[in-house]
Amino acid sequence: MNWITNFVRPKLQAIVGKKEVPDNLWETCNVCGQMLLKRELEKNLFVCKSCDNHFRISAKQRLDLILNPDYSLIDTPEIKIDPLKFKDKKKYSERIKAYQKKCNQHDTILLASGFINQNNVIVAVFDFNFMGGSMGMAAGEAIVKAADCALEKNCPLIIISASGGARMQEGILALMQMPRTIIAIKSLEKKRLPYVSILTDPTTGGVSASFAMLGDIIIAEKGAIIGFAGSRVIEETIKEKLPQNFQKSDYLKEKGMVDIVVHRKNLKISLEKIIRHLSSNLE
């Protein structure tokens, strides 16, 4: 602080009547290093205009991206927080509360009911900002509820994953969500309701090893990392160098693990076509 910032600037601001310019107007692309104006980045659906890198976005931004604006959020079930009384550097219960405050949501998954143009859908979407999108009991319950809502409304289910895997603070209770969510997804088959899985950056661990890979159609967002274990762990285990694009969405498409790789700007239109096609024989 000096005479200019303490005295001259407030005086000038008082005269001009302008608010201080926020210093967080810019975002740096972590792939090409380009400085991007946040407003422009948002207009471009959070995709770098220089290198096409798809930035990670929140669950709310995902819903806004694919659904018509009049969608409604569905409450996710309440669960008993921290049954194992887990503690590392911080108590798990405190950690959860901090994330709830930061992300303004109950846990990592947001549920919504809405329309993609004319098509009614239920959407469950992970928020990677909430504890790395880790799947614990709350996420498991949310997926089960999402499947129930799709059954009730007789409409397709879309799950958008962005997750580091099972939530270690919940131990075996988190791992149990893998079979639970699979059973929930499988219940849609009886009514022949379509289930579309969208894998975004990153989709790994227990999420990729359960419902995320069971979509009737599996869409991967461009450039997303999708896998089970991290590539460094695999390299150290098999003592081999992995290909450069290993675990990237295009590589998975090439190997038949996903059906299509979609650019974010085409996601809604692609989903509409898929949902319309898959729903054509629904009663």
Q: Which residues contribute to the site for Zn ion (CB under 5 A)?
A: 29, 31-32, 34, 48, 50-51, 53
- Integer Cα distance of 88 and 210 in angstroms: 27
- Integer Cα distance of 92 and 95 in angstroms: 5
192 φψ region: left (φ > 0), alpha (ψ -120 to 50), beta (else): left
Query: Which ranges of 31-122 does DSSP label H, i.e. alpha helix?
Result: 38-43, 59-66, 92-103
CB of 49 to Zn ion, least distance (A): 8
CB of 117 to Zn ion, least distance (A): 31
CB of 32 to Zn ion, least distance (A): 3
CB of 245 to Zn ion, least distance (A): 17
The smaller minimum CB distance to Zn ion, of residues 34 and 61, is found at: 34
Pair of tokens at residue 100: 């709830």
The smaller minimum CB distance to Zn ion, of residues 82 and 201, is found at: 201
112 φψ region: left (φ > 0), alpha (ψ -120 to 50), beta (else): beta
DSSP label at residue 282: -
The smaller minimum CB distance to Zn ion, of residues 250 and 259, is found at: 250
Cα angle at 211 between 176 and 148, to 5 degrees? Answer: 85
CB of 244 to Zn ion, least distance (A): 17
The smaller minimum CB distance to Zn ion, of residues 48 and 162, is found at: 48
Spatial CB neighbours of 257, under 8 Å, sequence gap ≥ 6: 213, 218, 226
The smaller minimum CB distance to Zn ion, of residues 55 and 92, is found at: 55
